[in-house]
């Protein structure tokens, strides 16, 4: 009996409203390679454009009998030698599509390292044996194109062909000549892997001589290169506020040249070849927590456990004992941390203990490094995946343990499609592998602690710090009183005294200010207008390092100015303080102090986190000033003072999680102090010292905070008592965005009343987003309080498919975010 094979293919670049696994006939010549989990090339759409896809399933049918294979397009090529995705990950992709309202291929893409992705491009070559009389009949442009391709040995990609001939990207001359038979069109897939090099620029001999006319922007770049010699193109753009095109213009004029500088490709340079397992001595509380975790790890079904321990209680020691057991059992381990800044200390600890069995997953690695780490896990060369959110997709075939450190952190939630939470993905994977998921924190999310209290999660608690260390003494400094006493500076008198004492005793201090830049607010005294970004509804921040006003949303920047762009009066006022100004203030007060600033501006370079934190650990700096990246997970025994410069920033926002985030941030940063043998102190500066969140954070009293917060959540119907579904709308025409949001809301109400009347829902909006405009696009939001069950997901999916077919709203995009960390 003859058979045929049909593949179910998830195709890239499909819109949600027509996304599905499409049927394609698999030619018999490809049967040996076409397995589930492999990528393929397929013709798609009316024009049969070649697109990349992934085989979600392969079915064998009786050929010619049922007719089901008739009319099907055929798979053109298989791109992988062996399947990239296991049955678990293929099922996860389908689950993500249903839960996060993304396409199947978007779900597949997020599971794979960036260096592994293929791009499909068409190339052209001149057709052979074209009769001379046909060539003579062509126009000049057609002849020029054929002459160019005839000189090339190999087919030329379409984009390079158009550039070489000086055509615009939308020029259809190659397609037109292909249809007439003058050119051969070739569709191919290529993979672009980061090559561990960084693009640098420096002046040429001609540039050093000077004498060439330059534009103002070119002159800025030229002046910078005269001063520093050579710099990366990224650094040049940051310090001058220009685009890379300005650098390219100098290169074309012969004044500068670009060159490649080698970057470290292997993140394991210097890692120990062999593991050294030091004996871990646990306290009684730690031992009890470990035994509770181990019992659940050994149970047939695994499960979810919350490990709640005060800051400095030694939760990492409990992790290590659990990981030791999983490694002995030859089972994979995933350990997630919320930020890249936490990776270096953890990586150093793990490399000493487990050697090259550790693979690293985070965005700070080059594409090539990420690809290599992914392969080491897939090939079984690494048993431990350590990293940020992306580590949750590490391709272990036999997973035994997932640990999510600081599980409450917002960075575990993706803000791009698919908008997943790593905790939900971890739960799915643990159910599949029947293994243990350990959620750990000194300040668990309200939802996780609630589920632990209800018995849905098991709960292990460590109430005391390790080794007899005490929680730091906390002083709340009233900044109103400081003003009354004539102190208008950023530091209270008590914090200045404590910093001076710490310097005298050669101890280290950490200062937290969760805003980067120098001045955080700029406005005009004459007209009262703030100096805002033209593309975003947000004021600009002044950065002293490059003397520019910058937008922290889209990156727009202008040079420092005292002239108002609205009324043109020279009465621009700069106010507010960011980390750059705090650093300057510390330098003025303590000129002898060695100061390290840690924020997004100082940690742009690769390995900058590792380098700076190691220098601080080695005692090369006395005071660390930084944003929230200095507040969590860091362990420096010589740090005995922590100062919070503006506690009120985190407290007062229009998001229901603001108190939870503020409590966690204050508790975590206070916990950085006194982690060694020396007693610690923390100073929290605030204009509202009576605020209960500040008082509870000062006492490290999570229990009291939880009781108050859970009552508010229940009264207001917030998670965990309901799910929040935020539907966002974005487009360049505000009127169309608003109309689209109102259309979606009307259809939601109508469909819910007609077919989903049993669903409990509260609909709020539509309304403008908190920041109405970002990167030139206007934003509206719709909030739905609901129970996120199968019926609700079906309702939203139907509405999205219906919306996608409305041509009048084609330029306004829509997305759905379930339980976002911050409401749009």
pTM (predicted TM-score): 0.81
In terms of C-beta distances under 8 Å and separation of at least 24 residues, what long-range contacts does 499-503 make, across chains too?
A: 499/586, 499/589, 499/590, 499/593, 499/623, 499/641, 499/643, 500/590, 502/622, 502/640, 502/641, 503/590, 503/592, 503/593, 503/622
Chain CA centroid to CA 366, Å: 15
- List of residues 6+ apart from 519 with CB closer than 8 A: 541, 542, 574, 575, 576, 577, 578, 581
Is 102 annotated as ligand-binding?
Answer: no
The verdict on 581 and 496 lying in the same domain is yes
Q: In whole angstroms, what is the distance from residue 447 CA to residue 555 CA?
A: 35
The verdict on 568 and 610 lying in the same domain is no
The verdict on 112 and 124 lying in the same domain is no
The verdict on 333 and 414 lying in the same domain is yes
Q: In whole angstroms, what is the distance from residue 258 CA to residue 520 CA?
A: 35
* Mean per-residue pLDDT, 495-501: 93
Q: pLDDT-based confidence at 555, cuts 50/70/90?
A: confident
Is 551 annotated as ligand-binding?
Answer: yes
Of the candidates 191, 216, 234, which is a domain's last residue? 191
Q: In whole angstroms, what is the distance from residue 370 CA to residue 88 CA?
A: 21
- Identify the pLDDT of residue 264: 36
Residue 813 has pLDDT above 70, yes or no: yes
- Identify the pLDDT of residue 396: 96
User: How high does pLDDT run on average in the chain?
Assistant: 87
- Identify the pLDDT of residue 270: 55
Q: The domain spanning residue 477 has which CATH number?
A: 3.40.50.300
Structural domain boundaries enclosing 483: 473-518+577-713
Is 430 annotated as ligand-binding?
Answer: no
The verdict on 450 and 491 lying in the same domain is no
The verdict on 338 and 349 lying in the same domain is yes
The verdict on 564 and 646 lying in the same domain is no
Q: The domain spanning residue 214 has which CATH number?
A: 1.10.10.10
The verdict on 605 and 561 lying in the same domain is no
The string of pLDDT tens digits covering residues 171-189 is 888 888 888 888 888 776 6
Strand-pair partners of 767: 781
DSSP-derived letter for residue 61 is E
- Identify the pLDDT of residue 307: 96
- Identify the pLDDT of residue 195: 39
The verdict on 461 and 540 lying in the same domain is no
Q: How many domains is the chain partitioned into structurally?
A: 7
Is 725 annotated as ligand-binding?
Answer: no
**What does the block give as tokens for 193?**
């892997």
Residue 759 has pLDDT above 60, yes or no: yes
Q: Is residue 459 part of a domain?
A: yes
Closest C-alpha to 219, from 189, 249, 194, 192 = 249
Q: Which residue would you say has higher pLDDT here, 467 or 109?
A: 109
The string of pLDDT tens digits covering residues 68-119 is 566 799 999 998 889 999 999 999 999 999 999 999 999 999 999 877 777 7
The verdict on 164 and 246 lying in the same domain is no
The string of pLDDT tens digits covering residues 112-171 is 987 777 777 778 888 887 888 888 888 888 888 888 888 887 888 888 888 888 888 778
- Identify the pLDDT of residue 648: 83
Q: pLDDT-based confidence at 196, cuts 50/70/90?
A: very low
The string of pLDDT tens digits covering residues 247-257 is 998 888 888 88
Q: Is residue 187 part of a domain?
A: yes
Q: In whole angstroms, what is the distance from residue 697 CA to residue 761 CA?
A: 35
* Mean per-residue pLDDT, 262-287: 68
Range with lowest mean pLDDT among 135-144, 235-244, 336-345, 430-439: 336-345
The string of pLDDT tens digits covering residues 8-34 is 999 999 999 999 999 999 999 999 999
- Identify the pLDDT of residue 261: 60
The verdict on 585 and 571 lying in the same domain is no
Residue 464 has pLDDT above 70, yes or no: yes
The verdict on 129 and 111 lying in the same domain is no
- Identify the pLDDT of residue 720: 95
Of the candidates 666, 683, 713, which is a domain's last residue? 713
Is 564 annotated as ligand-binding?
Answer: yes
- Identify the pLDDT of residue 808: 94
- List of residues 6+ apart from 707 with CB closer than 8 A: none
Could you tell me if 781 and 728 are in contact, meaning their C-beta atoms sit under 8 angstroms apart?
yes
- Identify the pLDDT of residue 42: 93
Q: pLDDT-based confidence at 538, cuts 50/70/90?
A: confident
Of the candidates 175, 191, 207, which is a domain's last residue? 191
- Identify the pLDDT of residue 190: 59
Q: Is residue 271 part of a domain?
A: no
Q: Is residue 270 part of a domain?
A: no
What three-state secondary structure class fits 685?
Answer: strand
């Amino acid at each position: 009996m003859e058979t045929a094979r049909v593949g179910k293919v998830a195709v890239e670049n499909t819109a949600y409203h027509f996304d599905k696994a499409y049927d394609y006939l698999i030619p018999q010549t490809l049967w040996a390679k076409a397995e589930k989990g492999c990528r393929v090339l397929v013709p798609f759409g009316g024009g049969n454009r070649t697109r990349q896809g992934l085989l979600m399933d392969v079915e064998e049918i009786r050929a010619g009998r049922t007719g089901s294979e008739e009319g099907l397009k055929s798979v053109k090529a298989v791109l992988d030698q062996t399947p990239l995705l296991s049955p678990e990950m293929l099922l996860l992709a389908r689950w993500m599509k249903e839960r996060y309202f993304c396409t199947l291929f978007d779900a597949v893409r997020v599971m794979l390292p960036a260096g592994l992705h293929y791009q499909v491009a068409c190339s052209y070559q001149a057709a052979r044996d074209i009769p001379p009389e046909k060539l003579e009949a062509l126009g000049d442009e057609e002849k020029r194109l054929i002459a160019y391709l005839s000189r090339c040995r190999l087919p030329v990609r379409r984009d390079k062909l158009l550039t070489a001939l000086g055509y615009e990207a939308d020029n259809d001359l190659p397609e037109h000549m292909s249809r007439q038979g003058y050119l051969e069109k070739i569709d191919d897939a290529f993979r672009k892997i980061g090559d561990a090099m960084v693009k640098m620029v420096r002046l040429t001999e001609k540039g050093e001589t000077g004498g060439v006319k330059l534009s103002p922007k070119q002159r800025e770049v030229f002046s910078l290169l005269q001063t520093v010699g050579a710099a990366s193109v990224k650094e040049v753009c940051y310090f001058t506020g220009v685009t890379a095109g300005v650098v390219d213009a100098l290169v074309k004029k012969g004044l500068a040249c670009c060159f490649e500088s080698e970057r470290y490709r292997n993140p394991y340079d210097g890692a120990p070849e062999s593991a050294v397992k030091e004996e871990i001595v646990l306290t009684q509380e730690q031992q009890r927590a470990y035994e509770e975790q181990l019992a659940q790890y050994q149970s047939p079904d695994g499960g979810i456990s919350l490990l709640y321990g005060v800051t400095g209680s030694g939760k990492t020691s409990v992790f290590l004992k659990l990981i030791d057991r999983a490694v002995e059992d030859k089972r994979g381990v995933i350990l997630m941390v919320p930020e890249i800044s936490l990776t270096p200390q953890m990586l150093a600890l793990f490399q000493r203990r487990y050697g090259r069995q550790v693979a690293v997953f985070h965005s700070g690695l080059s594409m090539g490094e990420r690809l290599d780490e992914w392969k080491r896990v897939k090939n079984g060369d690494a048993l431990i995946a350590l990293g940020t959110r992306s580590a949750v997709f590490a391709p272990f075939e036999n997973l035994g343990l997932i640990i999510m450190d600081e599980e409450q952190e917002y960075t575990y939630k993706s803000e791009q499609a698919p908008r997943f939470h790593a905790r939900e993905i971890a739960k799915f994977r643990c159910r599949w592998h029947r293994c243990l998921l350990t959620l750990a924190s000194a300040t668990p999310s309200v939802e996780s602690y609630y589920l632990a209290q209800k018995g849905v999660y098991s709960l292990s608690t460590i109430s005391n710090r390790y080794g007899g260390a005490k929680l730091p003494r906390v002083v709340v400094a009233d900044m109103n009183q400081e003003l009354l006493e004539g102190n208008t500076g950023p530091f209270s008198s008590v914090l200045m005294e404590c910093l001076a004492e710490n310097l005298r005793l050669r101890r280290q201090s950490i200062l937290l200010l969760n805003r980067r830049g120098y001045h955080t607010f700029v406005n005009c005294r004459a007209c009262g207008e703030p100096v805002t970004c033209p593309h975003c509804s947000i004021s600009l921040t002044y950065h002293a390092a490059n003397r520019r006003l910058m937008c922290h949303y889209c990156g727009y920047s202008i040079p420092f100015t005292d002239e108002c762009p609205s009324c043109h009066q020279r009465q621009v006022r700069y106010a507010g303080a960011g980390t750059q100004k705090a650093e300057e203030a510390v330098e003025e007060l303590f000129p002898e102090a060695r100061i390290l600033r840690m924020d997004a501006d100082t940690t742009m370079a690769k390995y900058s986190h590792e380098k700076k934190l190691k220098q601080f650990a080695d005692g090369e700096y006395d005071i660390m000033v930084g944003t929230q990246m200095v507040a969590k997970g860091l362990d420096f025994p010589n740090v005995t003072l922590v100062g919070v410069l503006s506690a009120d920033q985190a407290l007062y926002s229009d998001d229901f999680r603001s108190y939870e985030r503020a409590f966690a941030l204050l508790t975590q940063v206070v916990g950085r102090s006194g982690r060694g043998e020396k007693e610690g102190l923390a100073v929290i500066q605030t204009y509202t010292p009576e605020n209960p969140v500040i008082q509870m954070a000062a006492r490290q009293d999570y229990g009291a905070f939880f009781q108050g917060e859970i009552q508010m959540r229940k009264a207001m119907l917030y998670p965990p008592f309901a799910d929040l579904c935020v539907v966002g709308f974005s487009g360049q025409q505000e009127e169309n965005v608003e109309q689209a949001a109102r259309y979606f809301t009307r259809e939601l109400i109508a469909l819910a009343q007609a077919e989903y009347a049993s669903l409990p829902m509260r609909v709020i909006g539509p309304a403008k987003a908190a920041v109405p405009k970002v990167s030139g696009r206007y934003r509206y939001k719709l909030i739905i309080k609901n129970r996120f069950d199968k019926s609700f997901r079906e309702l939203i999916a139907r509405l999205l498919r219906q919306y996608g077919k409305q041509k009048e709203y084609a330029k306004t995009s829509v997305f759905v975010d379930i339980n976002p960390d911050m409401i749009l």
